[in-house]
Chain A
Amino acid sequence: MPETVSRSSRQRATSEALLELAANEHRGKLKVFLGMAPGVGKTYSMLSAARAAKAEGKDVVVGVVETHGRSETAALVDGLEVLPRRTAPYRNRVLMEFDVDAAIARRPDLLLVDEFAHSNAPGLVHAKRYQDVEGVLQAGIDVWTTLNVQHVESLTDVVEKIAGITVRETIPDKVLERADEIVVVDLPPEDLIQRLKDGKVYLPENARRAIDKFFLPSNLTALRELALRRTADRVDEQMLTQLRQRGVEGPWPTAERLLVCVGGDEQSERVVRSAARMASALKSDWIAIHLATADRDEGDRKLQKRIDKALRLAERLGATTVRVPAKDLTAEILNYANRNNITQVVIGRSPSGRWPRFLRRSLSDELTAEAQGLSVTVIAPEAAAARRYLPDMPEPGALAAGMAVATVAVGLAVTTGLLLEQLSPLPNMSMIFLLVVLICALRFGVSAAVAASIFSFFAYNFFFIDPRFTFTIARPHELFALLIFLAVAVITGSLAGRLRDQANATRARAEATQSLYEFSRKLSGAPKIDDVVWLVASQSAAIALGRSVVLLSKGGADLALEGAWPPEDALSTPDWAAARWAFEKGEPAGHFTATMPSAVFHFRPMLASRGTLGVIGIAMSEGDDNLPAATESALQSFADQAAVAIERTWLVDEAARMSTAAEGERLRSALLSSVSHDLRTPLASILGSVTSLRQLGDRIPAADQAELLATIEEEATRLTQFVSNLLDMTRLEAGALDIRRDWIDVTDVVRAAAKRGQKLMPSRKIELRMKPDLPLVKGDATLLEHVIFNLIDNAHKYSPASSVTTIASARLESGAVAVRVTDQGYGIPNDALERVFDKFYRVGGDDGRAPGTGLGLAIAASVVRAMGGEISARSPISNGGGTEISIMLPEAVEPARQISSKTT
């Protein structure tokens, strides 16, 4: 079985190696000139090599080279193209920084960038130069750079120990590991010191003082060893990589996996660094784990910050970090190690005193005892850091408050005790004190409880134990009882206090869960994108205890500020840059990160299945160096949920658009088929009748011949009407229909229309109920007749042949003239009432077979509206059937009636 495992992992290694090779093909190559200390001649070597490369015909460009005024170096730069620096204002000075964009735009074969570990001026896109270089490499440009070994992150504490200097400018080990080539620029320490004495080594003014301490032969030798060892490790690794890429069979070192346990104590960072060095030496993956225990971790902000810091360091050093909630630490570590094929566990020894260990084994001891098949490395605490860490150690303020509460409580207990004694002597007064201790524990926590226990101990002795009002105790058994009381009080008090702390922690967690749940519930209920954005902005601001912004990119457009809490409509330039970065790379950027740290907001991308939708930005009101882990995870889950919700609303919108388009398409094809049907049917009748008459005329009886001729006439009329309706509609749509504004008598117009309607369908009964003395209205008589005819035609189409169509006119109170055409037909369903005036809309037209074209009412509505009137439909009128279409024509200032009637 073990063989199988090792073979499969070996095969995996091979495919990973090939993937790595493929990924590296488009990347530029990074070559690092590594030195043990300033002054060994890294820049000099790099430039010499670059000149040689240029001589071979390579396009070499200097991005940044610090000559520090040394003529030898300057001479080497001479003749190479040097990119102009970009300026970055910083405080009162102007700093000259490497211009990444210019370098990428210039696209040389090879770019020289001095001082790999340099920190950029605030306000630039990246905090560190190595991040700039990463961008250049991704653009496919080869880069050569220089680095001193002390700047390697995992070595900083070793360097600190060796040389006694604290290194602030560091680069993550991962970056150096990704370098394709490392060239050691070596110089014996003695020679370096000689060069220093000759003034050949440039050192900044403020570093002069450190020289004597730093450039000692012993220091330099140690650093030299570090540099050489680092490089030797690399060579080893490169050989392995090549073997893997060529598919050469082992023996390779078995894959080691390292787990480092990160606690909240002072030495956790040191433990992480040690683990990083071990992992680097083993060339293995490593994982930093923090086990969060419910009873102490939550609510202790200092502790949380220390844990965050240590985990972040681990991340920088190349570890995967995890947080696991745990109750039994040892079991959880072993469990995790088992599941993740961990081979080695690194843990710091808790620097606890002797007697807690007597009560309980320390975690490291327990782990060593319980671990099976694992090697456990215990890092001993440093003397300086050997202060014991008290997880429950409250802040000074809280301690003082606890003392005060305890004093008051014990005072009350004494008073109560003395009063009770007056009433009836209690056999055991200590119970009152125990009660007070418990109350303190439950209300104010462990420290108040312990303080109350101790105060009670003295107060009980002083007030209630003979001889009273002294601290002396007369009877030995009472001393014994008193000590037991103290023990009981302390133990119950701290247990009750811890219970309270746990309850608080549980409540805090429940609240966090609740708020997340509330958020997701509200999100899922938010129908519109604006609601979602508002929710996300307000909730993010709430968890950040500060401000928030939400930026979205719709359909590939640039990011736009969609919402902010409190409302805001502009962002600063660095914030925009950070937001875009977070959006494009899908990684957090801005404040608290290495990318655009000068931004005010911290941005996190909202990732959904179709890619990044936008970013959430928060600005915390409390100044903090690091983003608290709780806030970070809450923000992350907010971002994830928000992305889903936003994507959902976008999809809903899109679906709605699609269905509208599909509906339009369906309408068009229905229209086409109905128009063709309406044109063809009269044509078929006419053609059929005409051909019948011509070919069979002599055989058709006279009555039938007349019938055929009538058919031809009627169908031709119908066709004419249909064509003119179509033309009217087209003209109306094109705005080409001239509407005259003549004085017209509505009664005359209605009569004419009714006559036409009667002629078209002689069998139908039309009843006119016209009010006499209707005022004249302004309008187009021909068009109005057409409108009323259309209404009559419509009434005929939608009612049984035997029914009566009524046309009534009336003068309304407003002075307008109303014409109502009422049928006794099937009526119009409620939901269709609104749409009957839409073009090509026909009631009950599912099979495309309803009579009519859906144009008559549409034309009527357009014409009436164009004449300033109104049109409306009402149904049912009575007995669940019938439709009434009303036209209201506005009152116009009437001319003298006689004149108009004479002239017309």
Chain B
Amino acid sequence: MTPRILIVDDEPQIIRFLKPALSAAGYATVIAATGGEALKSAATEAPDLILLDLGLPDLDGKEVIKQLRVWCAAPIVVLSARDRETEKIEALDLGADDYINKPFGIGELTARIRAALRHAARQSGQQTHVKAGNLDIDILAHTVTLDGAPLKLTPKEFDLLAMLVRNAGLAVTHRQILTAVWGPAHTEDLQYLRVLIGQLRQKLKSTPDSVDPIQTEPGIGYRFVGET
């Protein structure tokens, strides 16, 4: 069954290329030009994923996310401009799964779509085993091995890594990490997170120039990149 994607954008030019491109990539598409239409289509068409532009003529995109998240679990990928950082963070905190900056290449978009769909599937199946290069992480077994040798992580480091791995491929905001690892009282303590991420990156590196599996999303948060 082909996954169905709801595209919410009021710019006809964007729709014009997204529709054929996504069909070619193997997805069925449903189009909505306004927030109202988006909510209606999400209810009637049961999309597997929602591509949402934040600037809509009738409703603010964030408002759409808020209303969708009350009853809809489909992953939401936000289409947004690079300079609207606070909007992206708010969207992610409200329940969006990922974001992509305009303008974007179709390859990057489809990769994000795949990651989001995978994550949604895992949410039900609880797969918690990730590989990245010569790194092997098994959250349930509580083991992290680098080049086959077990790594010793502090409990906080492990919590942080588990949080990122569970959302592998998706952007996680600072606030979401801080809440999950330190608790809701520490949502502003960015410094804790910076230090811990630094330590974790050191431990996960096999050679000085190996690819860092933890990517920084400037101003927003982090993203774990690996294969399941």
Q: What is the interface of chain A, defined by CB distance below 8 A to chain B?
A: 676-677, 680-689, 691-692, 695-696, 699-701, 704-705, 707-708, 711, 714-715, 847-849
Q: A692-B17, A707-B16, A849-B10 are in contact. Are A680 and B24 (CB under 8 A)?
A: no
What are 7 A-to-B residue pairs whose CB atoms are below 8 Å?
A: A688-B14, A689-B17, A692-B106, A701-B20, A704-B20, A711-B13, A848-B55
The docked-state distance in angstroms from the alpha carbon of A848 to that of B106 is: 27
Q: Which 9 A-B pairs have the closest CB atoms?
A: A692-B21, A704-B20, A684-B103, A691-B105, A685-B13, A696-B24, A691-B106, A687-B103, A689-B17
Q: A688-B105, A692-B106 are in contact. Are A676 and B17 (CB under 8 A)?
A: no
The docked-state distance in angstroms from the alpha carbon of A721 to that of B104 is: 22
The docked-state distance in angstroms from the alpha carbon of A699 to that of B24 is: 5
The docked-state distance in angstroms from the alpha carbon of A677 to that of B24 is: 27
Q: Which residue of chain B has its CB nearest to the CB of A696?
A: B24
The docked-state distance in angstroms from the alpha carbon of A681 to that of B13 is: 8
1/0 per residue, CB under 8 A from A, across B98-114: the answer is 00001111110100000
The docked-state distance in angstroms from the alpha carbon of A524 to that of B13 is: 58
List, in ascending order, chain A residues with CB within 8 A of B26's CB: 699
Interface contact A708-B20, CB-CB below 8 Å = yes
Q: How far is the CB of A385 from chain B (nearest CB, A)?
A: 85
Q: A681-B11, A695-B106, A849-B57 are in contact. Are A688 and B21 (CB under 8 A)?
A: yes
Interface contact B102-A684, CB-CB below 8 Å = yes
Interface contact B17-A696, CB-CB below 8 Å = no
Judged by a CB distance under 8 angstroms, whether B81 is at the interface is yes
Q: How far is the CB of B101 from chain A (nearest CB, A)?
A: 9
List, in ascending order, chain A residues with CB within 8 A of B24's CB: 692, 696, 699-700, 704
Q: A700 touches which one: B14, B16, B20, B105 (CB < 8 A)?
A: B20
Judged by a CB distance under 8 angstroms, whether B68 is at the interface is no
List, in ascending order, chain B residues with CB within 8 A of A848's CB: 55
Q: A692-B24, A704-B24 are in contact. Are A715 and B13 (CB under 8 A)?
A: yes
List, in ascending order, chain B residues with CB within 8 A of A696's CB: 21, 24-25, 106
**Residue with the highest number of chain B CB atoms closer than 10 Å, among A676, A685, A705, A849:** A685
Q: Which residue of chain A has its CB nearest to the CB of B102?
A: A684
**Residue with the highest number of chain B CB atoms closer than 10 Å, among A677, A684, A695, A714:** A684
Judged by a CB distance under 8 angstroms, whether B23 is at the interface is yes
List, in ascending order, chain B residues with CB within 8 A of A707's CB: 16, 20
List, in ascending order, chain A residues with CB within 8 A of B17's CB: 685, 688-689, 692, 708, 711
Judged by a CB distance under 8 angstroms, whether B83 is at the interface is yes
Interface contact A684-B104, CB-CB below 8 Å = yes
Given contacts A680-B102, A696-B21, 13 further A-B contacts (CB under 8 A): A682-B13, A684-B14, A687-B105, A691-B107, A692-B106, A696-B25, A704-B20, A707-B16, A708-B21, A711-B13, A714-B13, A848-B55, A849-B55
Q: Which residue of chain A has its CB nearest to the CB of B83?
A: A676
List, in ascending order, chain B residues with CB within 8 A of A714's CB: 13
Judged by a CB distance under 8 angstroms, whether B18 is at the interface is yes
The docked-state distance in angstroms from the alpha carbon of A686 to that of B11 is: 13
Interface contact B20-A685, CB-CB below 8 Å = no
Q: How far is the CB of A125 from chain B (nearest CB, A)?
A: 62
Interface contact B16-A686, CB-CB below 8 Å = no
The docked-state distance in angstroms from the alpha carbon of A681 to that of B12 is: 10
List, in ascending order, chain B residues with CB within 8 A of A684's CB: 11, 13-14, 102-104
List, in ascending order, chain A residues with CB within 8 A of B25's CB: 696, 699
Q: How far is the CB of A774 from chain B (nearest CB, A)?
A: 37
The docked-state distance in angstroms from the alpha carbon of A705 to that of B10 is: 22
Interface contact A688-B20, CB-CB below 8 Å = no
List, in ascending order, chain B residues with CB within 8 A of A849's CB: 10, 55, 57
Q: How far is the CB of A209 from chain B (nearest CB, A)?
A: 93
List, in ascending order, chain A residues with CB within 8 A of B81's CB: 676-677, 680
List, in ascending order, chain A residues with CB within 8 A of B105's CB: 687-688, 691, 695
List, in ascending order, chain A residues with CB within 8 A of B55's CB: 677, 847-849
List, in ascending order, chain B residues with CB within 8 A of A711's CB: 13, 16-17
The docked-state distance in angstroms from the alpha carbon of A688 to that of B26 is: 16
List, in ascending order, chain B residues with CB within 8 A of A685's CB: 11, 13-14, 16-17, 103
Q: How far is the CB of A676 from chain B (nearest CB, A)?
A: 6
The docked-state distance in angstroms from the alpha carbon of A686 to that of B17 is: 8
Q: A680 touches which one: B57, B103, B106 (CB < 8 A)?
A: B103
The docked-state distance in angstroms from the alpha carbon of A852 to that of B93 is: 32
Interface contact A681-B14, CB-CB below 8 Å = yes
List, in ascending order, chain B residues with CB within 8 A of A687's CB: 103-105
Interface contact A695-B107, CB-CB below 8 Å = yes
Q: How far is the CB of B51 from chain A (nearest CB, A)?
A: 12
The docked-state distance in angstroms from the alpha carbon of A682 to that of B11 is: 10
The docked-state distance in angstroms from the alpha carbon of A584 to that of B110 is: 75
The docked-state distance in angstroms from the alpha carbon of A701 to that of B16 is: 14
List, in ascending order, chain A residues with CB within 8 A of B18's CB: 688
List, in ascending order, chain A residues with CB within 8 A of B10's CB: 849
Interface contact B16-A692, CB-CB below 8 Å = no
Q: How far is the CB of A145 from chain B (nearest CB, A)?
A: 68
Interface contact B23-A704, CB-CB below 8 Å = yes
Q: Which residue of chain A has its CB nearest to the CB of B10?
A: A849
List, in ascending order, chain B residues with CB within 8 A of A689's CB: 17, 21
The docked-state distance in angstroms from the alpha carbon of A695 to that of B17 is: 13
Q: B104 touches which one: A688, A705, A708, A847 (CB < 8 A)?
A: A688
Q: A685-B16, A847-B57 are in contact. Are A700 and B21 (CB under 8 A)?
A: yes
The docked-state distance in angstroms from the alpha carbon of A856 to that of B57 is: 22
Interface contact A688-B11, CB-CB below 8 Å = no
Q: How far is the CB of B48 from chain A (nearest CB, A)?
A: 19
List, in ascending order, chain B residues with CB within 8 A of A701's CB: 20
**Residue with the highest number of chain A CB atoms closer than 10 Å, among B10, B11, B13:** B13
1/0 per residue, CB under 8 A from A, across B168-204: the answer is 0000000000000000000000000000000000000
The docked-state distance in angstroms from the alpha carbon of A687 to that of B109 is: 12
The docked-state distance in angstroms from the alpha carbon of A429 to that of B55 is: 104
The docked-state distance in angstroms from the alpha carbon of A707 to that of B21 is: 11
Q: Which residue of chain B has its CB nearest to the CB of A703?
A: B20
Interface contact A692-B20, CB-CB below 8 Å = yes
Q: Which residue of chain A has its CB nearest to the CB of B19?
A: A704
List, in ascending order, chain A residues with CB within 8 A of B23's CB: 700, 704
* CB-contacts of B75-116 with A (<8 A): 81, 83, 102-107, 109
The docked-state distance in angstroms from the alpha carbon of A707 to that of B109 is: 20
The docked-state distance in angstroms from the alpha carbon of A707 to that of B13 is: 11
**Residue with the highest number of chain A CB atoms closer than 10 Å, among B16, B17, B55, B57:** B17
Q: How far is the CB of B85 from chain A (nearest CB, A)?
A: 13
List, in ascending order, chain A residues with CB within 8 A of B20's CB: 692, 700-701, 704-705, 707-708
The docked-state distance in angstroms from the alpha carbon of A714 to that of B14 is: 12
Q: Which residue of chain A has its CB nearest to the CB of B107?
A: A695
The docked-state distance in angstroms from the alpha carbon of A142 to that of B21 is: 93
Q: How far is the CB of B53 from chain A (nearest CB, A)?
A: 10
* CB-contacts of B133-190 with A (<8 A): none
Q: How far is the CB of A30 from chain B (nearest CB, A)?
A: 62
Q: Which residue of chain A has its CB nearest to the CB of B81?
A: A680
List, in ascending order, chain A residues with CB within 8 A of B21's CB: 688-689, 691-692, 696, 700, 708
List, in ascending order, chain A residues with CB within 8 A of B106's CB: 688, 691-692, 695-696
Q: A688-B18, A692-B17, A704-B23 are in contact. Are A683 and B57 (CB under 8 A)?
A: no
Q: How far is the CB of A587 from chain B (nearest CB, A)?
A: 55
1/0 per residue, CB under 8 A from A, across B1-39: the answer is 000000000110110111011011110000000000000
The docked-state distance in angstroms from the alpha carbon of A687 to that of B10 is: 18
Q: Which residue of chain B has its CB nearest to the CB of A682?
A: B13
The docked-state distance in angstroms from the alpha carbon of A682 to that of B103 is: 9
Q: Which residue of chain A has its CB nearest to the CB of B16?
A: A711
**Residue with the highest number of chain B CB atoms closer than 10 Å, among A691, A692, A695, A708:** A692
List, in ascending order, chain B residues with CB within 8 A of A704's CB: 20, 23-24
Q: Which residue of chain B has its CB nearest to the CB of A686?
A: B103
The docked-state distance in angstroms from the alpha carbon of A701 to that of B21 is: 10
List, in ascending order, chain B residues with CB within 8 A of A688's CB: 14, 17-18, 21, 103-106, 109
1/0 per residue, CB under 8 A from A, across B54-85: the answer is 01010000000000000000000000010100
Q: How far is the CB of B216 from chain A (nearest CB, A)?
A: 23
